[in-house]
Chains A and B, each alone.
Chain A
Amino acid sequence: MVLGAGMHPWGKWGRGFVEYGTAAARAALADAGLDWRDVGSIVGAGTVRGGYPGHVAGAAFAKALGWQGARVTTVYAACASGAQAVAAARAQILAGLADVVLVVGADAAPKGFFRPAGGDRPDDPDWLRFRVLGATNPAYFGLYARRRMAVHGDSPDDFARVKVKNAAMGALNPNARYRRPVTAEEVAASAVVADPLRLLDICATSDGGAALVLCSVDFARRRGAARPVRIRAVSTVTPRFPSTVLDLPDIATDSAAGADPDGGTFRASIARAAYEEAGLGPGDLSLAEVYDLSTALELQWYEDLGLCGEGEGAKLLREGVTAPGGRVPVNPSGGLASFGEAVPAQAIAQVCELTWQLRGAAGGRQVEGARVGITANQGLFGHGSAVVAVR
């Protein structure tokens, strides 16, 4: 059960990640109507930019909120850290180890390209791709985008359309960093970063914090919570060998010479696991929050979530199916296009948006009659992440 959701607005605020995380935590606790001392366990999603895994994030947030003895956990799974934090919290609740768990993720992102930690570390694939190739994250996004253009006939105009859609929603979201509509002409006029993608096709890196208060069914009932949002599935799957889609931070794919890929890509398997656990399918969705690290990648997620067949993502967008008022609005929060990525907070922020949408409390961004939502995301090194929530 989701009793509370809260965020610190995304931006470039120039302060520490603990401040953003505790602000989000206090907002989530206030939303849940609970005192911090009612929380039996805290799970922090780690940021690599705090030294250690974010000063070992769970404890850093617990100390800032005021030590009260809660059980503590910290997880790190790159962009999927938030989903793993939700998974850890949920497992503790289902195992009866805690009634109420606070999940917190926050980041204070550096300017410019993400880069690996310093030092000479030739055994680290993330270090190697920068050292040997200079392959930044946008370079991989560019490869995917070009591949879609060649194989599916997508065009830069299709990619720009994603940005226009998401920016229009982000303009309505008080927690978004970019709150201004963007036109296709503005996307086309922005500088090329990694051909064929332009600056406005690629998500920025941001400061921000997000938090959730999760509890057991019994606790929600005792509290008399009125129809709380329920988490029906958390998918944290890894790829299956051979993984044949080139993925950051790798320099090469697995080889399929010794074993055939058994149906489907890693990204598709993330959603499939979530649907199976929830007992739902893509036809049941009211909305989706997907990781639009680039505009082209959002189209890929449509296909990986089963919203349409392979290669039909751009058509789905053009038909307005994923726009506000469409059959399955995607990224009604404004997505990464409007937020910029705050790594350990982002997957939690996706669940915050589902929570508000399913409660009918999303204001001008509200998806009419929202009943079922999914989040999807993928963390560096092979971390799947998807959450299904219902009300």
Chain B
Amino acid sequence: MSRTRTPVVAGWFTGEGEAFRLLGTRCSACASVFFPREDGHCRNPGCPGGELEEVPLSRRGRIWSYTDTRYRPPSPYVSDPKLPWVSYALIAVELEAERIVVLGQAAEGVTVADLAVGMEVEAVPGVLAEDAETTWTTWKWRPAAGGDGGGRDMTTGAGA
């Protein structure tokens, strides 16, 4: 039986393969970027409030920090309790242009041993979970092809 591919949250990402991007919104007045998207009003208290326009976020960023999940998270995280728990890594990534840190799961097969703070990673499409009718899609972070593996000064930027 074929399952329907459905984003775990609508409007947070778009595209496939190389064209995959996280989607945020940007204030036309102050240039603040919001992810998850803010569609109501700019949250910069010093901004009169411009139009919030949908923008794709940078595909690549650098690792701000990372960890993993050795125990099964509780609901509403979806996992099959009949299967043994398989840990996955979580990566917080600093996007230079947007000066924002975005958390995401690591791509399948990537463990904390493969990661370092400052390493370059890229957003890729991934699968969060599957049930009888639906494949829930999401974004994942993966060490960037041709990335430099880190070494940049890690204490600067939005997340410092």
A interface, CB within 8 angstroms of B? 112-113, 115-116, 118, 120, 122, 125, 127-136, 139, 142-147, 150-151, 191-197, 241-242, 244-246, 250-259, 261
Residues in B neighbouring A251, C-beta threshold 8 A: 35-36, 102-103
**Size of the chain B interface, CB-CB below 8 angstroms:** 56
A242 to B88, CA, bound (A): 30
Are A143 and B90 in touch, CB under 8 angstroms?
Answer: yes
Most A Cβ at <10 Å: residue of B75, B77, B117, B118 = B77
In the complex, which residues of chain B have a beta carbon less than 8 angstroms from the beta carbon of A256?
Answer: 99-100, 158
* Nearest A residue (CB) for B47: A258
Report B50-102 residues with CB < 8 Å from chain A CB: 64-71, 73-79, 88-90, 92, 97-102
B-chain residues with CB within 8 Å of residue A113 when the two chains form the complex: 71, 73-74
| Shortest Cβ distance from residue B99 to the other chain A in the assembled complex, whole angstroms | 4
Do B65 and A146 touch (CB < 8 A)?
A: yes
Find the B residue at minimum CB distance from A197: B67
Given contacts A242-B32, A253-B100, A257-B31, contact A127 B76 (CB under 8 A): yes
Q: What total count of A-B pairs have CB within 8 Å?
A: 168
Least Cβ–Cβ distance between A204 and chain B, in angstroms: 14
**Closest CB of chain A to B109's CB: distance in Å?**
16
Which applies to chain B's interface (DSSP): helix, strand, loop or mixed?
A: loop
Q: A192 CA to B97 CA in the complex, in Å?
A: 35
Main secondary structure of the interface of A (DSSP, over half): loop
By a CB distance below 8 angstroms, the chain B residues around A144 are 65
A196 to B155 CA separation, bound complex (whole angstroms): 20
B31: chain A residues within 8 A (beta carbon): 257-258
User: Interface of B with A (CB < 8 Å)?
Assistant: 8-9, 26-27, 30-36, 42-47, 64-71, 73-79, 88-90, 92, 97-105, 112, 116-118, 128, 138, 154-155, 158-160
User: Given A130-B74, A257-B31, does the pair A244, B46 have CB atoms closer than 8 Å?
Assistant: no
B75 touches A244 (CB 8 A): no
Q: Which of A115, A125, A193, A258 has the most CB of B within 10 A?
A: A258
Would A259 and B47 count as touching, CB distance under 8 A? yes
**Docked complex Cα distance between A194 and B64 (Å):** 16
A252-B100 in contact given A132-B9, A139-B69 (Cβ < 8 Å)? yes
Docked Cα-Cα span, A161 to B102, in Å, equals: 31
Please, which residue of chain A has its CB at the minimum distance from the CB of B117?
A: A150
A195 and B70 form a contact (CB under 8 A): yes
Residue B8 contacts which of A131, A151, A244, A257 (CB distance < 8 angstroms)? A131
**Contacting pair A246 B92 (CB below 8 A):** yes
The contact sample of 20 A-B pairs, CB cut-off 8 A, is A118-B75, A131-B78, A134-B79, A134-B90, A135-B90, A136-B73, A143-B90, A150-B116, A151-B117, A151-B155, A194-B70, A195-B89, A241-B43, A241-B45, A241-B46, A251-B36, A255-B98, A257-B33, A257-B100, A258-B30
